[in-house]
Amino acid sequence: MEVSTMPQGKYNRVSVVLTCFAGCMIAAPAGAAVPGCANIPNVARLAFAEGSAAHVIESNVAAIRTAELLDLRLTTTTDTIAIAQGAPGAIPFALTNSGNGEEAFVLDARIDGTDASITGFAIDSDGNGRFDAKIDILLPTRRTTSLIAPGVTTALLVLVEGGVGTTGTLTVNARAETGSGAPGTGFTGEGDCDAVVGATGASALATVTLTAAPGTDLSQISVIKSQSVAAPDGSALPARGATVTYTIQSRFGGNAVVRSARLADLIPEGTTYIPGSLSLDGATLTDADDGDPGGFDGNAVRVVLGDVPAPAVRSIQFQVKIQ
């Protein structure tokens, strides 16, 4: 705005320009959401000229602080998951902090329609949907995540123990630790600053249908070991120099697929392994660590069975000599 005055008596012409400047103590791209708890100061400047002299006068600083918006999304990667009866399982979920400030989230879950049980929650560190105790992070008893930055999605696992029963439903709830409720509900001084509930109510539900994986009851899997002795004199006496043949049967009942099965057997003390005696289902295996599924490492025989479609029986044999 410019204001001009005509000379009147001893007064000179004065030009006035009023400019408003808004400054922020944050740096955000155009169109990006303003982070929670950011200070937004505003200063007006009055620039004017009196004769040949230029002047600038600034107003006081009028500042506001943005509230922390509490919002989230909770999604599943699948609608239905089969859980092995009597075995642990992991159900993957994805939690997104869709608010504008760092926030921790409280998790809860229940199972209806089956006697499967919930044993805990974990952060799925590699996002593969399976629980690995070496890298995945178990949440504490109160089931609260660490702070999640705005816009960040965290992969979660609900850990369950499979049970006997009909099809059931797993329901998972997540809510902002600062607070939840009707949109617009405020929490003065909570969170990083004043917080307000967003459109989601700062709470979300997600459900997955659980089914019992057929034939994967652990009671249907067994390992049976037997032995026979052949002494140098032709008898079955376990004397020095006698050969002991061990037969190990891995039995898989039902009609599911058992994943990543492998067997190891230490050579008993007082005996030595007979090289080249290892076999699987009648087929000879080499002792070296090569392309076939078996081997002898100096202490034990090891055989990789891999994925086994049940029902099936896999038979392993090897021999030792009594010293």
**Do 142 and 40 reside in the same domain of the chain?**
no
Count how many domains the chain has.
Answer: 3
Which of 66, 88, 110 delimits the end of a domain?
66
User: Residue 255: which domain range?
Assistant: 218-322
Give the CATH number for residue 290.
2.60.40.740
Predicted local confidence at residue 191, as pLDDT: 66
**Do 172 and 226 reside in the same domain of the chain?**
no
Listed in sequence order, the residues at least 6 apart from 27 whose beta carbon sits closer than 8 Å to its beta carbon are none
**Do 155 and 233 reside in the same domain of the chain?**
no
**Do 137 and 245 reside in the same domain of the chain?**
no
3-state SS assignment for residue 165: coil
**Do 62 and 78 reside in the same domain of the chain?**
no
**Do 283 and 193 reside in the same domain of the chain?**
no
List the one residue out of 52, 46, 44, 126 whose CA is nearest residue 90. 126
Predicted local confidence at residue 222, as pLDDT: 92
**Do 105 and 136 reside in the same domain of the chain?**
yes
How do beta strands 2-4 and 39-50 pair? Answer: unpaired
Give the CATH number for residue 104.
2.60.40.10
**Do 154 and 230 reside in the same domain of the chain?**
no
Predicted local confidence at residue 32, as pLDDT: 53
Which of 183, 213, 243 delimits the end of a domain?
213
Q: Provide the whole-model pTM.
A: 0.57
- Digit-by-digit pLDDT tens for the chain (323 residues) are 444 444 444 444 444 444 444 444 444 444 456 788 788 889 899 998 988 899 899 988 887 878 899 999 999 988 998 887 666 789 999 999 999 999 999 999 999 988 888 999 999 999 999 899 889 999 987 799 999 999 999 999 999 987 656 578 999 999 999 999 999 999 988 766 889 999 999 999 999 999 877 655 567 789 999 999 999 999 999 999 999 999 999 998 877 778 789 999 999 999 999 999 999 999 999 999 888 999 999 999 999 999 888 889 999 999 999 99
**Do 171 and 36 reside in the same domain of the chain?**
no
**Do 190 and 310 reside in the same domain of the chain?**
no
Which of 17, 33, 66 delimits the end of a domain?
66
**Do 262 and 185 reside in the same domain of the chain?**
no
How do beta strands 203-213 and 80-84 pair? Answer: parallel
Predicted local confidence at residue 88, as pLDDT: 79
**Do 52 and 105 reside in the same domain of the chain?**
no
List the one residue out of 110, 176, 189, 190 whose CA is nearest residue 145. 176
